[in-house]
Amino acid sequence: MAETKLKESIGEEEEKKEAEDQSFEELGVDARLLRALHKKGIAKPTPIQGVAIPLILEGKDVVARAKTGSGKTLAYLLPLLQKLFTVRADRKKLAPNAFVLVPTRELSQQVYAEVLSLVELCRVKLKVVQLNSNMLANDLRAALAGPPDILISTPTCVAKCLSGGILKAESISESLETLVLDEADLLLSYGYEKDIKAFTPHVPRSCQCLLMSATSSFTHFHTINSFT
């Protein structure tokens, strides 16, 4: 994301200003996702969801900082899926429409499971893949065949796919619509800076970028912004 459209920074103070009685429907969430949330027993949005979801649905780039357990994952997954629901089926796709980059394999598995649950409950056809750096090249190629709608991975695995020609830089530039850096502060502190910098030059200017963080400091905020 060499140039952004509109960027919003969300912190705990902004969350506190939001009304506690708002509903997912009032936030503009798709009816299929509303039914999925009902089946999962999720009745009301958390404060971070109440602030982030409308901004993401508007197409804005968002930097959101909230404590662990505050609902950041659904805050970006719901509008991300809603966006994919409206993608034309006949549109040519050379690479995943959405990348979700996470710092650990455990978090990757959690996000993957949440996405699959929502997709299944919504009864929509979306291909979601989870990659890890221990996968063989043939397995990576098989997973990316299609290609998938959503790719969930650590930055190291994406960098491996790029350097090995499994992911084509030009295909990413043509197809990528949403980039999520989940736990962005940990992505930096865990040493992924080089891998992220190898990837971000291929992110198109039109791509919506979402940075989710628990404890992003002012210094980290500016470092992250240098990637996007």
- pLDDT, one tens digit per residue, over 88-102 is 665 668 899 999 999
Cα torsion through 47, 212, 103, 136, rounded to 10: 110
- pLDDT, one tens digit per residue, over 4-39 is 345 666 665 455 555 467 899 999 999 999 999 999
Query: 179-206 as b/e, with b when 16 or more CB fall inside 10 Å?
Result: bbbbbbbbbbeeebbebbebbbebbeee
Is the distance from CB of 154 to CB of 192 less than 8 angstroms?
A: yes
- pLDDT, one tens digit per residue, over 182-193 is 999 899 888 898
Residue 218's pLDDT is 43
Is the distance from CB of 28 to CB of 78 less than 8 angstroms?
A: no
The stretch 114-128 carries a mean pLDDT of: 96
Q: Name the pLDDT band for 140 (thresholds 50, 70, 90).
A: very high
The closest alpha carbon to 132, from 98, 114, 159, belongs to 159
Residue 21's pLDDT is 72
Exposed, middle or buried: residue 7 (CB in 10 Å: 0-12, 13-18, 19+)? Answer: middle
Rg (C-alpha) for the chain, rounded Å, is 17
Q: Name the pLDDT band for 223 (thresholds 50, 70, 90).
A: very low
- pLDDT, one tens digit per residue, over 43-79 is 999 999 999 999 999 999 999 988 888 999 999 999 9
Residue 133's pLDDT is 84
Q: Where are the beta strands (DSSP E) in 90-192?
A: 98-101, 128-130, 150-153, 178-182
- pLDDT, one tens digit per residue, over 150-200 is 999 999 999 999 999 999 999 999 999 999 999 998 998 888 989 998 898
What topology does CATH give the domain 7-85+93-227?
Answer: Rossmann fold (3.40.50)
Q: Name the pLDDT band for 87 (thresholds 50, 70, 90).
A: confident
Residue 88's pLDDT is 62
Residue 177's pLDDT is 95
Residue 226's pLDDT is 52
Residue 188's pLDDT is 84
Residue 189's pLDDT is 87
